[in-house]
Structure 1
Amino acid sequence: MKVIFDCTSLTNWTGHPTGIQRVVSEIGNELLKCLPSVYLGIFQSDGICLKYNLEQRTTGETVNLNANDIVITAGSNWDFKEHHKILLGLRKKGIKLGILFYDAIPCILPFTYGPGFADIYKEWLIETIGACDIAFAISENTKRDLKNFADEHRLILPEVKVVRLGDDIPAAAGAPSEEIIKKTSEPYLLTVGSIEYRKNHIMLLNAWRYMIEEQNYIPPKLYIVGRQGWLDNDIEYQIENDLRLKGRVEILKGLQDIDLRVLYEKTMFTLYPSFYEGWGLPIAESLCFGKPCIASRSSSMVEIAPGLVRHAHPLLLNEWVEQIRLLADNPAELKNECARVKRTYKQSSWIDTALQMRDGLFCSHPEIMEMDE
């Protein structure tokens, strides 16, 4: 029996992996250390699996797959239909399929994605659950959502094992840009995440409008960091053309890793008003830097650090304004909260993620443990 960790989503990837590509890269790298029998593999369009060297980003000799071997995949396979078909075909040959599920959000909030995507994702999820022998999820909330989806569609879902994603902050080389250094010279708040409807940036814009216009209060500057995503509500246009927001809210694009690191280090605290998440990595990243976060009281976001993260309802403006002002107007409270975060938040490493995945494999297939001894 062999275990193959699918790295196909890293094919042709250049630069530092981000998002799902980073998850694949980090878990693959750590599985090599804690599961000696594992192979990293990339599947070609003809279905042949080649050994993959993560460090050099090169492929090697063919990995011959046999019945009862296990292939684990953590990529965005809904975006790659041909690769998805290859994985489904493996199971027909007696090869077991393990899946890391991130979320079921397109099926829960289909209106937060572009036209047609929810149907594509739903079809992928139905087929994947139906072909899944080993299931992992990145949160208890995703585990519940998968079970509800499977029950609704009368699918048999194997026992889902939750693995917590690592939140180590990648090392950042070089020096921050002069522009970023200048921007951090005055008090500001930070929100990180793709600029799309689901991330609910409009709540923050409206909170700033309310504080400025209705409360005659000038809040700290707000920096929004993220790439363009689905249905963004023309956030950038609003910021540029609303005199209440101009100069108080700004979108920052094309940042280097070191720039984002400095923004986290210097911010007063962070905000994350998303409607729904499979996890919510920017919350954990904020805590890693010792910075409190006000996040939505929703989905997986309440799991990340109970008691350390402040929460507000994603639809209630008054709750966001109250929480923002409570920390912004009380330096002593903010200082104490930062100290508590630094003192008590326990970071999760990617080796922890890989160990949880390995232990999940051992639980369902104990013979793997014997092979590694």
Structure 2
Amino acid sequence: MTAAMPKPETTSSLAAVSLPSRGLILVDLSTSWRHRSSPPVGIIRCEHEIARHFLAASPQDVIFGFFSEETQQYSEIPQDTVIQMITNSASSGSSSLQEKETSDDQALKDSVNRKSFYKTVLAGLLFANYMAGRASGLGKWRMKAATWAKQYVAGNYDVIDFESLTRIAKFWTASPNIDLRGPLGGLRMALVHSAPPPGSTPVQIDKIATILLPGVFWEGSKAKWIWKESSKRNISVKLLLFDLIPIVVRQFSESGAAQNFAACLHYLLWSCDHFFCISDSTARDLRRYADVCGYLPIPESKVEVCRLGPARFVHDTGPDAGEDPRIPGSERLDPGKFVLFVSTIESRKNHDFAYHLWRRLAAKHGVEVFPLVFAGKLGWDTDSLMRRISQDPVIGGRHIVHFDNVSDDQLRWLYANCAFTIFPSHYEGFGMTVAESLAFGKPCIASVGSSIEEAGQGVADHIDTLDGVAWLKKIEQYMFDLGALEDKSKAIQIAYKPYAWDEFTAPIVQHMLRSSGAMSGIDLNIPKRNLS
């Protein structure tokens, strides 16, 4: 951990924000808006659940906003749009919002036939400059270069030939640290997703009493902007903190992520007067970081633990869960005869450990081994691992299967039909996969440390990942001893008590309404509202 940056001069002290008179609550849904066409990950699920409860409890007191780096202001996301975004998020490729994104993408392709080679090359040079800054780890260079490239392409996308731009990028991939293919591949949709909602109006910040940040805060200049505006206008700021992974285990973060995260958290440590943490582990990490780095102590009254519940598709599971739509390519999976690992594929999640476990099992048991299913999108720094898996003659393309872009319905089928799950992650803010597995009554073999054991509630099988032999023995027990598997499943169904989403969101909504002056401190019984 690094020493704290100097205290911003215009801020009096940490958590020294007086309660404002009644005003509106601004809930930042920037993360959800940017990723509205993709199956929701944990952070987006949390934003959606918080939005659900604000809409059910007190819609007249809340504004949902999207922060634009270009305009340096919030734009309002209409409540009807938020409801549609939540409702459509669980499906993949079938929602009206996603159809709209498809048409927007097509419009970017077809809007103008005339293309400019000069502007295409210039756009490529700007993105090469951005990627060079990213590879070097120079934060200011990277931020400025990204802004230049994005603004230029946004202003000239109608005459830029994106197919040619992708081909030109091949000339800039000679260095192993500079690769434009990924950024260019998603550039068109990034332009659509970085724009405010159509027809939206700027949020009148003078009417805002308090701001809630429930999503990504560690990118761009939003944290600094919030510090400035909250200091100037006496706005109360609340942060939902998932983890301090880029600081605590920075070796598992992208280059420069730790610096960006720490810089943004710096401004929020001086501007936030309340922190909602998703686990005791995250709360401890926050207090430890503030103490070690020389920030003012964070009182216990300013840190509230709000534990996550399993995703909504788990609670909505009925007796026919096993009949949900299967994933194309999953026909070779026999119900009850495969093992599931749900997670974005990245080094922190420890898929490499899982690969070596299954390599050893395949070498020992051959065709008797249950396939291991990776369900999750590809994250950063995964090319080498996925290439080794695909080329390994022991795995042979049979023993490990990967499904990307899995919808909630498809994920429900995987959970309902797997034999058990594994989760050997190095570090977690909570460990949602463990909670989801147990909620389905499925045994979960998980690692130890951070918050993973909190999620397991003493019901999951926790084994140190340094003890590979113990992992192999437990996997073999559940794989080849049906009685042991059934006994464990029955024990989970009796002992495991999943947290409900109301338990997570109600304290946040109550606190926000009180701090804005919308309610006086009487506990709020949030009514149910069907948004599905």
In the superposition, the TM-score normalised over structure 2's length comes to 0.64
Deviations 1:17-44 (A, max 9, x none): 4332221122111133235664032145
Residue 354 of structure 2: aligned partner: 204
Q: Residue 330 in 1 paired to residue 481 in 2?
A: yes
Give runs of aligned pairs for residues 269-308 of structure 1, distance below 5 A: 269-308=420-459
Report if the CA contact (8 A) 1:5-1:38 is conserved.
no
Cα offset for 1:98? 0.3
Question: Normalized per residue, which structure has more helix?
Answer: 2
Cα offset for 1:189? 0.5
Cα offset for 1:361? 4.7
Question: Normalized per residue, which structure has more strand?
Answer: 1
Cα distance change of structure 1 residues 289 and 86 upon mapping to structure 2, 3 Å threshold: same
Cα offset for 1:83? 2.7
Residue 131 of structure 2: aligned partner: none
Match of 1:8 among 8, 30, 39: 30
Cα offset for 1:221? 1.4
Report if the CA contact (8 A) 2:66-2:74 is conserved.
yes
User: Which moves more between the two structures, 348-357 or 63-72?
Assistant: 63-72
Residue 55 of structure 1: aligned partner: 83
> What is the letter of the counterpart of residue 377 of structure 2?
R
Cα offset for 1:125? 1.8
Q: Residue 148 in 1 paired to residue 288 in 2?
A: yes
Q: Please state whether the residue corresponding to 2:520 is helix, strand or coil.
A: helix
Cα offset for 1:276? 0.3
Residue 127 of structure 1: aligned partner: 267
Q: Using the alignment, how far apart are the partners of 2:250 and 2:461 within structure 1?
A: 27
Match of 2:49 among 26, 46, 63: 26
Q: Please state whether the residue corresponding to 1:103 is helix, strand or coil.
A: coil
> What is the letter of the counterpart of residue 182 of structure 1?
R
Report if the CA contact (8 A) 2:310-2:435 is conserved.
yes
> What is the letter of the counterpart of residue 10 of structure 1?
S
Report if the CA contact (8 A) 2:241-2:277 is conserved.
yes
Give runs of aligned pairs for residues 24-173 of structure 1, distance below 5 A: 24-35=47-58, 38-44=61-67, 45-48=71-74, 50=76, 52-53=78-79, 54-56=82-84, 64-66=204-206, 69-79=209-219, 81-92=220-231, 93-156=233-296, 157-158=298-299, 159-170=302-313
> What is the letter of the counterpart of residue 370 of structure 1?
S
Match of 1:228 among 378, 397, 410: 378
User: Which moves more between the two structures, 178-187 or 25-34?
Assistant: 178-187
Cα distance change of structure 1 residues 177 and 149 upon mapping to structure 2, 3 Å threshold: closer
Give runs of aligned pairs for residues 329-368 of structure 1, distance below 5 A: 329-361=480-512, 365=515, 368=518
Q: Using the alignment, how far apart are the partners of 2:495 and 2:54 within structure 1?
A: 28
Report the RMSD for the aligned CA atoms in angstroms: 2.8
Cα distance change of structure 1 residues 326 and 69 upon mapping to structure 2, 3 Å threshold: same
Deviations 1:33-81 (A, max 9, x none): 23566403214534355363111456766654448811111121212x2
Cα offset for 1:357? 1.4
Match of 1:245 among 392, 395, 398: 395
Gaps of 5+ in 1: none
Q: Using the alignment, how far apart are the partners of 2:374 and 2:32 within structure 1?
A: 28
Report if the CA contact (8 A) 1:166-1:349 is conserved.
yes
Aligned length: 371
> What is the letter of the counterpart of residue 152 of structure 1?
V
User: Which moves more between the two structures, 19-28 or 100-109?
Assistant: 19-28
Cα distance change of structure 1 residues 119 and 229 upon mapping to structure 2, 3 Å threshold: same
Which of the pair has the greater relative contact order for Cα pairs under 8 Å at 6+ separation? Answer: 2
Q: Using the alignment, how far apart are the partners of 2:335 and 2:77 within structure 1?
A: 48
Report if the CA contact (8 A) 2:346-2:381 is conserved.
yes
Q: Using the alignment, how far apart are the partners of 2:519 and 2:366 within structure 1?
A: 64
Q: Please state whether the residue corresponding to 1:194 is helix, strand or coil.
A: coil
User: Which moves more between the two structures, 130-139 or 48-57?
Assistant: 48-57
Cα distance change of structure 1 residues 216 and 228 upon mapping to structure 2, 3 Å threshold: closer
Q: Please state whether the residue corresponding to 1:111 is helix, strand or coil.
A: helix
Which is higher, the Rg of structure 1 or of structure 2? 2
Q: Please state whether the residue corresponding to 2:361 is helix, strand or coil.
A: helix
Deviations 1:318-361 (A, max 9, x none): 12112212222321121121122223322323222111213445
Report if the CA contact (8 A) 1:107-1:121 is conserved.
yes
Cα distance change of structure 1 residues 84 and 179 upon mapping to structure 2, 3 Å threshold: same
Q: Using the alignment, how far apart are the partners of 2:312 and 2:209 within structure 1?
A: 34
Deviations 1:294-323 (A, max 9, x none): 111111000013221110112221121122
Report if the CA contact (8 A) 1:167-1:288 is conserved.
yes
Q: Using the alignment, how far apart are the partners of 1:259 and 1:13 within structure 2?
A: 19
Report if the CA contact (8 A) 2:210-2:515 is conserved.
no
> What is the letter of the counterpart of residue 7 of structure 1?
L
Cα offset for 1:145? 0.5
